[in-house]
Chains A and B, each alone.
Chain A
Amino acid sequence: MQLTLEFGGGLELLCDSVKIHKVDVDPQTEEEKVTMKQLLPWIRTNLIKERLEMFMKGDSVRPGVLVLVNDCDWELSGQLDTVLEEKDVIVFISTLHGG
């Protein structure tokens, strides 16, 4: 499944200063769907190169990191339970950097 991941607000610094990543993420089994809950550990393993604690806390993003799925606040789509589909765009923005 193709997804576009975008990191902003300083989070791009944790993944080699690359803001936009086109990635392929597949569900563990054919009939299973990929949710944000599965995507976050995938990002942790495959994209984050340093200071992981700036991105995640427990099994979710660190409080203060905003998440948008197709330009919509993930608080409206169930946060970790948000089901992802082909070509979805997921944006992560840190609010924790500078003023």
Chain B
Amino acid sequence: MAAAAKPKNGRLCSICNDRRAALKRPKTLEQICRECFYAVFEDEIHKVIVENQIFKPGERIAIGASGGKDSTVLAYVLSELNRRHNYGLDLFLLSVDEGITGYRDDSLETVKRNEIQYGLPLKVVSYKELYGWTMDEIVKLIGLKNNCTFCGVFRRQALDRGAALLKVDKLVTGHNADDIAETVLLNILRGDIARLSRCTSITTGEDGPIPRCKPFKYTYEKEIVMYAYFKRLDYFSTECIYSPNAYRGFVREFIKDLERIRPRAILDIIKSGEDFRISASTKMPEQGNCERCGYISSQKWCKACVLLEGLNRGLPKLGIGRSRVLSNEPNKDTKQTNGTKNMQSKQCGTLDF
């Protein structure tokens, strides 16, 4: 890292009025210095945690850790806040090894360094041990179409299984404000009412075995990356080699374009998502349990079991398509399945809500 030359502007921080400003906050457009930035960034997350009563003293908490920027900053900030404000939490890092050579093996090295740097015990669960398949093997069989569906469905369960093995009370993930705004738009575009109504919740799955929380719900991606940069946090930033990055990618780019024009747009979209009211007469899928593995499911079998059955029987297309109409009306949805399967393939599966 080269030593910085003199700053380009003499403007002072609008909070301390003492040091030079280092960044413009997207949320408030304030120009603030590095030290005040650290303080407001951490304080806001602390406030979100307190106001939403995310944690109770003595709880065991797993941090879903991919080695990427969001989960790395989350692990760092949470262990800091836990110490500073005496949350009394037992924190763990939980990683999923999808079995993607040249991507996950490298990012897992980052998580292993985080384990030492932050002194948090790490648990890794792999697709191979849970399902008998690595993503490399799945892609070899099914190609690069719909692979993100497999990965997304498997990851969601893998995190829950890992959390159960760690005997934690909750799982926290690094989803940030930009991710949530993206998901709100994506769910509107897909017409997915069930997900639209829950994707903005800070805590989900409270009725299930392991609730999930998003402490970065109101935290801008720009600030997370700036924080990681200024603090020199060690994170991994390579795109998944199998991610076609198409559908979510378009929404993502649209959100970034909006942010450039009006940074508040991100929070406004989240607010709109929260204010959506689903009419009481809308039939929502009922949550039950998978008859095969017992995992939470609105169908006879959960999505992972359907996908796995397809893989093991050499029919990998089984279970690709609209899950809502899958097992109840098998004849009616054949045509629709073909038409919608690309839409269903969730891009960049790390963003499962």
B-contacting residues of A (Cβ < 8 Å)?
4, 6, 8-10, 13, 20, 62-64, 66, 68-73, 75-78, 82-83, 85-89, 91, 93-99
B20 in the interface, Cβ–Cβ < 8 Å? Answer: yes
B68 A89 Cβ-Cβ under 8 A: no
A94 B8 Cβ-Cβ under 8 A: no
Contact partner, A73, options B23, B69, B224, B240, Cβ 8 Å: B23
Assembly CA distance A73 to B20 (angstroms): 11
B8 A72 Cβ-Cβ under 8 A: yes
B24 in the interface, Cβ–Cβ < 8 Å? Answer: yes
B239 A98 Cβ-Cβ under 8 A: yes
Residues of B within 8 A of A96 (CB): 252, 256
Closest to A54 in B: B239
Closest to A11 in B: B237
A13 B252 Cβ-Cβ under 8 A: no
Given contacts A72-B20, A72-B21, A97-B239, A82 and B8 within 8 Å (CB-CB): yes
Assembly CA distance A63 to B265 (angstroms): 14
B280 in the interface, Cβ–Cβ < 8 Å? Answer: no
Assembly CA distance A83 to B5 (angstroms): 13
B179 in the interface, Cβ–Cβ < 8 Å? Answer: yes
Assembly CA distance A95 to B24 (angstroms): 16
B70 A99 Cβ-Cβ under 8 A: yes
A98 B23 Cβ-Cβ under 8 A: no
Residues of B within 8 A of A75 (CB): 23-24
Residues of A within 8 A of B6 (CB): 70
B238 A70 Cβ-Cβ under 8 A: no
Given contacts A9-B69, A72-B21, A66 and B225 within 8 Å (CB-CB): yes
Assembly CA distance A68 to B238 (angstroms): 21
B163 in the interface, Cβ–Cβ < 8 Å? Answer: no
Q: Give the distance to chain A from B325, nearest Cβ to Cβ, in Å.
A: 30
Assembly CA distance A21 to B24 (angstroms): 26
B123 in the interface, Cβ–Cβ < 8 Å? Answer: no
Assembly CA distance A74 to B336 (angstroms): 48
Residues of B within 8 A of A89 (CB): 2-5
Residues of A within 8 A of B174 (CB): 99
A71 B221 Cβ-Cβ under 8 A: no
Contact partner, B225, options A4, A70, A72, A95, Cβ 8 Å: A95
Since A9-B237, A82-B8 are in contact, a sample of 5 more A-B pairs with Cβ atoms closer than 8 Å, ordered by chain A residue number, is A69-B8, A70-B4, A83-B8, A89-B2, A98-B350
Using an 8 Å CB-CB cutoff, how does the interface string of B206-238 with A read, 1 for contact, 0 for none?
Answer: 000000000000000110111001100000111
Using an 8 Å CB-CB cutoff, how does the interface string of B1-27 with A read, 1 for contact, 0 for none?
Answer: 111111111010000000011111000
Contact partner, A70, options B8, B24, B230, B253, Cβ 8 Å: B8
B351 in the interface, Cβ–Cβ < 8 Å? Answer: yes
Residues of A within 8 A of B31 (CB): 76
Assembly CA distance A11 to B259 (angstroms): 20
Closest to A5 in B: B2
Contact partner, B24, options A62, A76, A83, A88, Cβ 8 Å: A76
Residues of A within 8 A of B225 (CB): 9, 66, 93, 95
B257 in the interface, Cβ–Cβ < 8 Å? Answer: yes
Q: Give the distance to chain A from B93, nearest Cβ to Cβ, in Å.
A: 15
B66 in the interface, Cβ–Cβ < 8 Å? Answer: yes
Assembly CA distance A1 to B107 (angstroms): 37
17 A–B pairs (Cβ distance < 8 Å), ordered by A:
A6-B1, A6-B2, A63-B259, A63-B260, A71-B4, A71-B22, A76-B11, A76-B22, A89-B2, A89-B3, A97-B237, A98-B69, A98-B107, A98-B237, A99-B68, A99-B174, A99-B348
B146 in the interface, Cβ–Cβ < 8 Å? Answer: no
B175 in the interface, Cβ–Cβ < 8 Å? Answer: yes
Name the residue in A69, A76, A93, A95 with the highest tally of chain B Cβ atoms < 10 Å from its Cβ. A95
Q: Give the distance to chain A from B28, nearest Cβ to Cβ, in Å.
A: 13
Assembly CA distance A62 to B257 (angstroms): 9
